[in-house]
A and B are shown apart, each in its own frame.
Chain A
Amino acid sequence: MLSKMATGNGHGEESAYFDGWKAYANNPFHPINNPNGVIQMGLAENQLCFDVVKDWILKNPAASICTVEGVDSFQDIALFQDYHGLAEFRKAVARFMEKVRGDRVKFDPDRIVMSGGATGAHELVTFCLADPGDAFLVPAPYYPGFDRDLRWRTGLQIVPVQCHSSNNYEVTRSALEEAYERAQEANIRVKGVLITNPSNPLGTVMDKDTLTSILAFTQEKNIHLVCDEIYGATVFKQPSFISISEIMTNQDCNPDLIHVVYSLSKDLGFPGFRVGIVYSYNDDVVHCARKMSSFGLVSTQTQRLIASMLSDEEFVDRFLAESSQRLAARHSVFTGRLKQVGIPCLASNAGLFVWMDLRHLLKDPTVEAELALWHVIISEVKINVSAGSSFHCSEPGWFRVCIANMDDETMDVALRRIRALAAKKDMPNKAAGKRKCWQTNLQLRLSSRRLDDFMGIPQIGSPHSPMPQSPLVRAT
């Protein structure tokens, strides 16, 4: 007697991506209590700059209405239930978005619509743009959560646009055309293109030409362009991040077709605050999204806190600088040490993750082999990374590894484990000495006993997990 939605499988939590989360939840790593547990490298969370934020909060007690200094405005804040959001909040977020885009574009606070995280923002945009059965073209590899967030309640279909490592996953005009035609042949109405820039999982930013060509494509077809820019401030080195808002101002284009999804979860590292933003250049979408936003409003207390924090421009500047510096450092340590053991990563300059190339460790270039390797990594190497096939990547052998959700010590353990994996691979072929050799002669036999010998850590179970909650609810 329940609905089809409640009993159906639309949540899509039966994939390898979520299996990894379960494995982590059952046996999470802890440096002292569970040193042999699984290290979570599947969560794109930015924990590198919490201390900076904490300092600010302690220095600005009035920002939170729940302090002696801030309690005067408690009444107004607690009672405020307008779905437009606090004016100061919208203003501060618009200003922050401008800063992240290098002050090269302006954002109108009246177009800021809030929603429950980027998850809610994506669903909101989809509700506004597409009817059930319509489709979005999404360049692959793309974030696995889209399959659920975009499709579950809205009835949207996703048509992947295949991109390849050979040209650094560039979204080409021909790939877009090909996907568009494929959809038309299947009699599916394409309503838009969704891009993530900076890309999740690749960690790369799109250049001006690519953005211009994608924009031109959508304008010619008269379809929508949704830009997910939630990793905008995680760009830590050149080339700098170019927002679609910047491209469109220099173009002769119809702004009604352009929508930006933003969030503070990644750039500020506040996923718990559940602040997602829809910024649309289409008035109808703004109005409609605003009405629907009552299903995912942000607590006014949080709005107020964020408004005060982001209005402190000096803090924002310091935070952005510090954050990209720390990300850059973490990124270079991680990729550098992987390189030493012959594991390359896609060159990237943004995001909270790297796109690791383990193609040479695959028995054969198939999805099955990729999943086999992934199982070895999760159960024997004991880190939770996300397999490329979860991201609809067309080439097997790529993995997304998140690097910003742990401290340096944990990162060190993780790196040692990955190096052990590479070393093990290397051993039987040491005589050959050449990488080429073990590339072709792949074996995936790495028993946990041997790994333990290598690691010198006795195997213990996981009597008690410090993370009692389900992995699924934390999935990002």
Chain B
Amino acid sequence: MSLPLPNPSKNKKKGTPEPPAMRLIVPLQGIVQGRGGLILGSIIPCALFYFFQLYLKKNRRRNNRQPPPDSPPTLSPTSSNAADLQRSSSRLSLSAARTPARISARASGLAAPNTSPYYVGSDRAREDPYHEFDNPNGVIQVGLAENRLSLDMIEKWIAENWELSMDSDGQLGINGIAAYQPFDGIYSLKVAVADFMSYVVGDVSFNPSQLVLTCGATPAVEILCFCLADHGNAFLIPAPYYPGYISYLTTLYVLTQIGSFPRPIKCVYSFDRDIVRTGVELIPVHCRSSDDFTLSCTALDQAYNSARKRGLKVRGILFSNPSNPVGNLLSRETLHSILDFAREKNIHVISDEIFAGSTYGSEEFVSMAEIVNSDDLDKSRVHIIYGLSKDLSIPGFRVGAIYTSNEDVLKAAKKLTRFSSISAPTQHLLVSMLSDTKFIREYTEINRKRLRMMHDSFVASLERIGIKCAKSDGGLYCWVDMSAFIKPYNEKGELELWDKLLTVGKVNLTPGSACHCVEPGWFRCCFTTLAEKDLPLVMKRIQTVCESCKSSS
């Protein structure tokens, strides 16, 4: 990529296909020549090259025919067939004559299909979704942390209060909704979200002016990381962790690249999964089943030291509480020791608390905000991520939040929200919904109750078929131990079981390896997308696959 501008007259006829072809030919020549056949040594690579070109040409032609016949041709002027034909033929001749258009290095990596089982499974579940009557053989989705248990309450509220939500101030009307709004969220929504957070977390007050609202928790994490880390820095992260963080940070890598290299040397990176290791790196702090997947300080220290040894600058520690995918809560002591650790090393603390309101167990949820409230000194290093997607089960509305006491982070984050702000009608709707405290109290209570019931029956059903779960108190999922059914006892065995569950059993779970779990055989199951009546079928499907695994071994 460090070449100057492409020159069409260069002898490079096919552009990108050439490098892979060369990579194939040179070693081949070596091998064949080594055995003595000079002729073979040249014929085989030439033939291979020829077939390769032929294959590419074929593919290209097929791609050109891509626009399906039923959809209108993208480019034809009046959708007349003649014009369309002419255009696609012109494209053919052109692509043969010119070097293909180059997009940026980061784009070519992202355009590639995502191979993580987390995404593969979700795609499969989307293409072939289970339905009791319409598609009884479809894939049951337990891989997506989405809460369908309490939507009816929100629906009811809206039916009763829609007039309020359309026009929250009585006089704003379309002007207040459609015109430019502050990018970091309207103040009344900040107040409402801050109050909601206080209620959910319990007895901690949040200052609305320290909130920055974004369109979803995804950009919230991204923006926060932008503010805290340069390219090449690292974050510590307790593992297993949310598989989506990889995609956040893959992009993040690209983005932070700019922070430190205004004119970077080209060709330093290629965009694939390895990027995470060369860009903003996530250093996993492994938690184990023997400790109930709790975070230990020695593990934290070890991870930090090993990162330092490799010359990495650790900028912070990022964790989710309630943890995703395990569902356990961080105790007050653990939070204190994380803070002590961060103070000692002078690094940031990012606490992702998007499941704070979705707790159902006996343990008490403690927010990092409560820990830091007592100490002014540490406030500037603690940042909290929140969102309404999980606790209010409205992921489509795209509401995320950053809460920070650090003035500089606040300023920078507000400016960065210009790329990711929330649509105004949604803001107004939520202001009136969140301000209805009676409704919010009722909703949260009932939602927790339903979560608890669903969790309990899900875990009990699993136990009945001989499968145990780790103890969990929050989140929309449980962390299931299927290590008894995998063979061999490693990641390969785990992925084989995952594949069987998906293709034979038609249940989509998230394998622990996608969450960077150090022990094989653990799976994340989201139970909030199910109804009580679906449980027997899910269990039957899981059981069938597990038994076939057992009998084969």
Contact = CB atoms under 8 A, between A and B. Distances in A.
Interface of A: 1-8, 11, 13, 43, 45, 47, 50, 53-54, 57, 61, 64-68, 71, 74-75, 77-82, 104-108, 110-111, 116-117, 119-120, 123, 127-134, 149, 153-155, 184, 189-191, 221-224, 245-246, 248-250, 252-257, 268-275, 281-285, 287-289, 291-292, 294-302, 305, 468-470, 472-474, 476
Contacts of B72: 106, 108
11 contacts: A67-B166, A68-B159, A78-B151, A131-B1, A131-B266, A224-B101, A274-B421, A282-B101, A295-B218, A295-B222, A474-B180
Interface stretch (B366-374, B423-431, B459-467): B423-431
A4 B182 contact: no
A245 B73 CA distance: 13
Contact of B395 (A7, A50, A81, A287): A81
Contacts of B229: 3
B175 A5 contact: no
A5 B226 contact: yes
Contact of A273 (B110, B408, B423): B423
B22 interface: no
Interface stretch (B75-83, B356-364, B514-522, B531-539): B75-83
A47 B175 contact: yes
Contacts of A116: 215, 418-421
Contacts, number: 324
Interface string B203-237: 00000000000011011001000111110010000
Contacts of B346: 1
A248 B76 CA distance: 10
B396 A3 contact: no
Interface in B1-23: 1, 4-6, 8
Given A5-B259, A68-B159, A134-B104, 6 more contacts: A53-B174, A71-B155, A104-B77, A189-B5, A253-B94, A298-B423
Interface residues of B, number: 113
Which of B4, B155, B259, B429 has the most chain A CB atoms closer than 10 A to its own CB? B259
A153 B226 contact: yes
Contacts of B419: 116, 119-120, 123, 149, 153, 295-296
A201 to B, nearest CB: 18
A364 to B, nearest CB: 36
Interface stretch (B24-32, B249-257, B322-330): B249-257
A438 B419 CA distance: 46
Contacts of B254: 127
B100 interface: yes
A4 B259 contact: yes
B549 interface: no
A384 to B, nearest CB: 14
Given A78-B154, A132-B264, A296-B420, A248 B174 contact: no
Contacts of B258: 5, 132, 153-155
B154 A254 contact: no
A191 B105 CA distance: 12
Contacts of B71: 108, 110
A224 B348 CA distance: 40
A66 B158 contact: yes
Nearest to A71: B159
B111 A255 contact: no
Contact of B100 (A82, A253, A256, A271): A256
Nearest to B165: A66
Given A132-B257, A252-B94, A6 B107 contact: no
Given A54-B173, A272-B177, A254 B94 contact: yes
Which of A65, A155, A468 has the most chain B CB atoms closer than 10 A to its own CB? A155
Given A47-B179, A68-B162, A132-B263, A301 B104 contact: no
B174 A106 contact: no
Contacts of A130: 104
Contact of B148 (A79, A294, A476): A79
B264 A133 contact: yes
Contacts of A133: 262-264, 266
Contacts of B395: 78-81
Nearest to B252: A295
B524 interface: no
Contact of A301 (B148, B155, B260, B397): B397
Which of A5, A108, A270 has the most chain B CB atoms closer than 10 A to its own CB? A5
Interface string B307-336: 000000001000000000000000000000
